[in-house]
Amino acid sequence: MSENAVSLTSPRALRTGLSRVAAGRAATYALVIGLLVLPFLLQGSWLYTLGICFANSIGVLAVSVLVRYGGEVSIGHGFFAAVGAYSVAILEHRLGISLLVSLPVALVLGVLLGICFAWPSRNLSGIYLAVSTMALALALPEVINNAGEWTGGFQGLYVSRPVIPGIDMSLQRYFVALVLLIVVAYGLDRLRHSRQGLTLLLARSHPAAADAFGTRRVWARVSVMGISCGIAALSGVALGFSSSTVSPSGFTLWSSIFLLVGSVVSFYGLSLPRALIGGAFLTLVPQFLSGSGAWIPVLYGLALLIVILAGHFAPKIAAMLRRHPEGL
């Protein structure tokens, strides 16, 4: 906030700031075009991996929204992703409905459940949300496994109905996830500049001021959780569709914690490139370490700690270097 105020006072700083924003926009557009062309250059398994990477990126965005706008942390977003994934899979199995119809259903379910879930801890400090989401993530597998008639139990369900019949399924798996990611990232960009988004940010950073402007803190907290859980449900939709299976092993407490790791690794960024960094970290690390699974939690834990400590110390070191430009 204060940095913006400073940059607005000097025209030169304003100009460099604007050109940096413009450059960032151009880079994002280039990235989007590159990703849209990519499937015509790449083959088979890479398309599959990238589709899952986009789905994970959406999940990372969901967690980052909660941290950025709500100042809260959830380690149970796997639950809301599962809601999205299972609504697609169950609607396809029971009613033969394609993604075009089940996607809005999943989104609405995710938002509603998020609001219901944020309600009990609406007046309490953020740690209660963290603890209750942890319980949610631990309860999820036993619910899925015991509702086997609907969810397919341990084995899960297949998602195989195409969105547009006649087009190669591997292309569809790639593009559905990519389009969802772009839409979510664009929506978040708009939210940041909208009146509602600014109100939510104000309610987070200055609750008393927001109260004075007529924004109730409870409303802000519950709606941030609703937005975040809706995005998480979309990530579940993308994950279910692009990996073509939905099973309880994909939605454990660990997968929820990993989403948080991805969010931290992308510095809670809400832009498309940052989300892709988080998603790629979550998708590619297990691929490279597939031979030695036990190293994955160690590596993720270390990455989390290193990024957090770097985020803490980097500004201090930079300030020290500015004070002693000729070296220490």
Partner 1 sequence: MTGFVDVVSGTARDLFPLIWSGMITGCLYALGALGLVMIFKCSRVVNFSHGNVAGFAAFLIFGFSSGTLLQLSWGTAVLLALIAAIAIAFLSYAIIAPIVFESDLTATIATLGLGLVAQGATLLIFGADIVSLELPVPRFSTSFLGLLITGYDLTVLAVTVVTIAILFFVIDYTKLGVAFRAISSNPFAAEVCGLNLRSVHIFAWVVAAILGVVGALLIVPTTFLSSTTVVTFMLQAFAAAVVGGFSSLPGSLIGGILIGVLMNLFTFYVSPEFTSTFLLGVILLALNIFPNGMLVKVGGSRV
| Residue 162 lies near partner 1 (rule: CB under 8 A) | no
In eight-state DSSP terms, residue 37 is H
| Residue 125 lies near partner 1 (rule: CB under 8 A) | yes
Q: What are phi and psi of 158, to 5 degrees?
A: -95, 145
Neighbours of 258 (CB within 10 A): 26
Neighbours of 135 (CB within 10 A): 12
| Residue 296 lies near partner 1 (rule: CB under 8 A) | yes
Nearest-angstrom CA–CA distance, 308 and 311: 5
| Residue 121 lies near partner 1 (rule: CB under 8 A) | yes
| Residue 45 lies near partner 1 (rule: CB under 8 A) | no
* Whole-Å CA distances, 87 to 61, 170, 204, 228: 20, 21, 32, 18
| Residue 73 lies near partner 1 (rule: CB under 8 A) | yes
| Residue 301 lies near partner 1 (rule: CB under 8 A) | yes
Nearest-angstrom CA–CA distance, 236 and 86: 8
When binding is defined by CB under 8 A, the residue of 22, 198, 308, 314 that contacts partner 1 is 308
Nearest-angstrom CA–CA distance, 325 and 312: 21
Site string for partner 1, 234-273 (x = CB under 8 A): -----------------------x--xx--x---------
Tokens of 16: 């460099």
| Residue 315 lies near partner 1 (rule: CB under 8 A) | no
Nearest-angstrom CA–CA distance, 307 and 317: 15
When binding is defined by CB under 8 A, the residue of 17, 71, 187, 250 that contacts partner 1 is 71
When binding is defined by CB under 8 A, the residue of 24, 34, 148, 297 that contacts partner 1 is 297
At 55, the amino acid letter reads A
Residue 142 CB, shortest distance to partner 1, in Å, is 6
Number of residues that bind partner 1 (CB under 8 A): 46
Q: Which residues of 125-134 are buried (b: 16+ CB within 10 A; e: fewer)?
A: ebeebbebbb
Nearer to partner 1 by C-beta: 17 or 141? 141
When binding is defined by CB under 8 A, the residue of 32, 138, 171, 179 that contacts partner 1 is 138
Given the rule CB under 8 A, which residues bind partner 1? Answer: 67, 71-73, 75, 120-121, 123-128, 130-132, 134-136, 138-139, 142-143, 146, 257, 260-261, 264, 293-305, 308-309, 311-313
